[in-house]
Chains A and B, each alone.
Chain A
């Protein structure tokens, strides 16, 4: 059982309903094992968020899945009736959203929002949920959880809010957490703390994480394996060390060269060369969009 992947996406294909059926995902396949962190990397528009949304059943109506399957422990999330899907999502798959500014309801207290899932999915009483919420906030290193529970979101800093969201994502002990660029909206110093926190929570609870990002530096810090997307197509996949140190595809190598390096600050930023885009276009099709 433990050798079977927790999640396996097979040949997932999706098109946009808007731009005359422009492809969003092209035959994407990937696997996530129990308890591992998979980095889903790509430029904006590469389809990484679409995959995350498909997993959580929140695809916008303008995106249509035309083929493939999303197997979560042998159940295809794409064909399950919505009632069953709602059971799985939230209970077994949870989300850490991108922007802590808007991911908490500005009009409700932290306590109410943090305990929504506990009360609804676990049937906890208000008092039980309160005690659990305090424990969760302590787990994400929030000092004085009682005060935070009483606060409204705008009374907290961005880092604090992201901690609350992480606590909420782990509150129901899910098997899989989808982290949708959870550090993009944060200061660099806070970013590092949040990454360490996610990794720590993941380790402690044995949760698998899909980490959506465009930042290869973040991948290096947190991921076990990496899948690189370009224009909806998997360009490269493998263990984090392999991909980052011995990239097999020219695009990966070019992206690595284009990333700022703290150990060579004066090396300058190398743009991805045109030849690489030409190669990608040959491999994927003429409508592959360079989006850099």
Chain B
């Protein structure tokens, strides 16, 4: 008498994969990042020249499509005769290393504090929220330059500076998301089964915060790429003999009238990478939401 029709149910994994693939932002952004990862791994084989090899006889060569180019130097050379394309490819290493490590660490710290603040409330919430407020009152770029100056130049310092500054982004979002999930009846239901509060937080609430979190990590990677470029532009990142996009931009600025390509090439790489991370993050947010993505 009370039987009701059963509904067609696809397997959830298939559905989720399809939802991801239906987002062009995820596909395009993800594909671009994937290519960058391949460049990072295969840099020594893919790069046509040694990025550090100088040849003053071949200085300031224009890119291949302009008169006066030498074969083999696709994007030309800088004033010291180093191959711009090879330096660009090797520069991807530092950019992505900083992006992945810094964004992950900032996400870990910010998420943990955000979960605690949003779930336990009370004085924990007050302390963490005030800390975030104070933190966000500092101008981020100045603070990062200051931090690296104090910690000393190097890729570790760049990562530390990004983590120290940007954990607040994650903390704020995760806190408010946790608070709104905590209002849901399923949390109450879990309490009435007798789960401990910590277990409810990690096995019930955290999975529902995850979609927002994943999207935010992707956005943060874009930000980290920019911050790394800024710090290497002002010479506070890795030592100058390691190619970085920021360092290339700084060097290119000195010779903008003799060889504009030295500065423009890393700028385009930077722009495209940040755009890809942002689009990927935005697409992931739409696709991973369990209710929106139906």
Contact = CB atoms under 8 A, between A and B. Distances in A.
Contact of A95 (B2, B4, B12, B192): B192
Contact of B192 (A94, A105, A157, A160): A94
B177 to A, nearest CB: 12
Given A97-B188, A103-B186, A121-B194, A108 B207 contact: yes
B11 A150 contact: yes
Interface residues of A, number: 47
B291 A103 contact: no
A67 to B, nearest CB: 24
Contacts of A117: 193-194
Interface residues of B, number: 27
Given A106-B290, A147-B6, A193-B2, A95 B189 contact: yes
A97 B193 contact: no
A89 B194 contact: yes
Nearest to B185: A103
Interface in A101-120: 102-109, 113, 116-117, 120
A107 B189 contact: no
Nearest to A86: B194
A121 B194 CA distance: 9
B120 to A, nearest CB: 11
B239 interface: no
Given A103-B186, A108-B207, A147-B9, A89 B192 contact: yes
Given A104-B186, A150-B9, A58 B204 contact: no
Contacts of A58: 188, 191-192
Given A95-B188, A160-B4, A197-B2, A155 B194 contact: no
B192 A107 contact: no
Contacts of A196: 2
B131 interface: no
A143 B4 contact: yes
**Which of A91, A107, A147 has the largest count of B CB atoms less than 10 A from its CB?**
A107
A105 B208 contact: yes
A126 to B, nearest CB: 15
A274 to B, nearest CB: 36
A277 interface: no
A23 interface: no
Contact of B193 (A102, A108, A121, A154): A121
Contact of B185 (A98, A155, A197): A98
B205 to A, nearest CB: 9
Nearest to B210: A107
Contact of A97 (B185, B208, B290, B291): B185
Interface of B: 2-7, 9, 11-12, 184-186, 188-195, 204, 207-208, 210, 290-291, 294
Interface of A: 56-58, 86-87, 89-91, 93-95, 97-99, 102-109, 113, 116-117, 120-121, 141-144, 147-148, 150-152, 154-157, 159-160, 165, 168, 193, 196-197
